[in-house]
Amino acid sequence: MEFVVNWLAATPGHATPLLLAALGLIINERAGVLNLGAEGMMLCGALAGAAAALATGSPWLGLAAALAGGAALAAVFAVAVVVFRTEQVVTGLIMVALGAGVTGLFGRDITNQTLPALRGLDLGPLGELPVAGPILFRQDAAVYLALALTFALGAWLARSRAGLRLSAVGEDPAAADALGLNVQRLRLGAVIAGGALCGLGGGYLALVSSQVWVEGMTQGRGWIAVGLVIFARWRPGLALAGALLFGAIEAIVPRVQAVGADVPVYLMTMLPYLATLAVLIAAGLRRRRDDEPAALGQPYLRQDRR
């Protein structure tokens, strides 16, 4: 029982960076922009957060800087694909390489330095409850903020005028343009906002999960977030469920190794990626076109309107 409780208590921390990145990609793709650059944006967020936290001693300022770091790379991506209409898949892959290169170059001086960490909240007697206490009431503030953000984003997309406008741009940009919406501005804002959340996911990895900056520390989590969005059918609530699933898989790997189970190490480290492949196959088998934004990956300018 102690093994299970410790495993489940660690799951939200592993799920949070995946959830934040997936929420950012949902915002991007509900606006019709296919973003495969999440890995690079998470790296930029991780480096910006680590550098700011070291300079100020505040993990909260570090997380704010992580938002800015992800948004900065996303702004480059947004201008390229929205304004200049570059091919979105290729441009996203370039963002991954650019993020890895920039962070590898500028992160050398702070590599392996211990960072000011965001600690778990003290919720008093709630944290002392058997089983539920460690799992639900001993998490850090960012976990609860990510959970609140998930429900807020779901309600915003489904019920608010601004959220419905964003979805309209992703479904039929020409019709949205005819109704007076500024398609280009909405897509630019969506890409930058989504990139900021990807950066925040990277900042969480640096300031909470690892408490240290190392080159390439995201280790493919941006790609897992891409698969998670497809698995979730572009819905924040399902993204939360998927993130918890992947977080549970990540969390169990070091614990199985720690108890000395006779399982190959490399097989255990492959599990999150094998799970990603499995859910993509499952999503492909049950794929319904009405779930996917109709204009996903399609560039648009006003003169294209018929």
Q: pLDDT tens digits for 269-303?
A: 788 888 888 877 877 776 655 678 999 999 987 76
Contact of 23 with 156, CB cutoff 8 Å: no
Per-residue pLDDT averaged across 12-30, rounded?
A: 96
In the chain, the largest separation of any two C-alpha atoms, in whole Å, equals 65
Q: pLDDT tens digits for 168-204?
A: 999 999 999 998 999 999 999 999 999 999 999 999 9
- pLDDT at residue number 304: 57
Structural domain harbouring 34: 2-304
Per-residue pLDDT averaged across 134-145, rounded?
A: 90
- pLDDT at residue number 306: 54
Give percent of the chain above pLDDT 90. Answer: 65
What phi and psi values does residue 188 have, to the nearest 5 degrees?
-60, -45
- 45 token code pair: 């967020």
SS3 of 121, please? coil
- pLDDT at residue number 292: 87
Q: Which of 50, 41, 48 is nearest to 65 (CA)?
A: 48
- pLDDT at residue number 270: 82
- pLDDT at residue number 289: 57
- pLDDT at residue number 117: 83
Q: Which of 89-98, 129-138, 248-257 has the highest mean pLDDT?
A: 89-98
Give, in degrees to the nearest 5, the angle at Cα 111 between 20 and 63: 30
Domain count for the chain, please give it: 1
The three-state (H, E, C) secondary structure of 172-230, written as one string? CHHHHHHCCCCHHHHHHHHHHHHHHHHHHHHHHHHHHHHCECCCCCCCCHHHHHHHHHH
Q: pLDDT tens digits for 60-78?
A: 999 999 999 999 999 999 9
For the chain, how many residues are written? Answer: 306
- Mean pLDDT of the chain, nearest integer: 90
* CATH for 106: 1.10.3470
- pLDDT at residue number 287: 60
- Please give the radius of gyration of the chain, using alpha carbons only, rounded to the nearest integer: 19
Higher pLDDT, 24 or 303: 24
- 262 token code pair: 């006779």
- pLDDT at residue number 303: 60
Contact of 99 with 40, CB cutoff 8 Å: yes
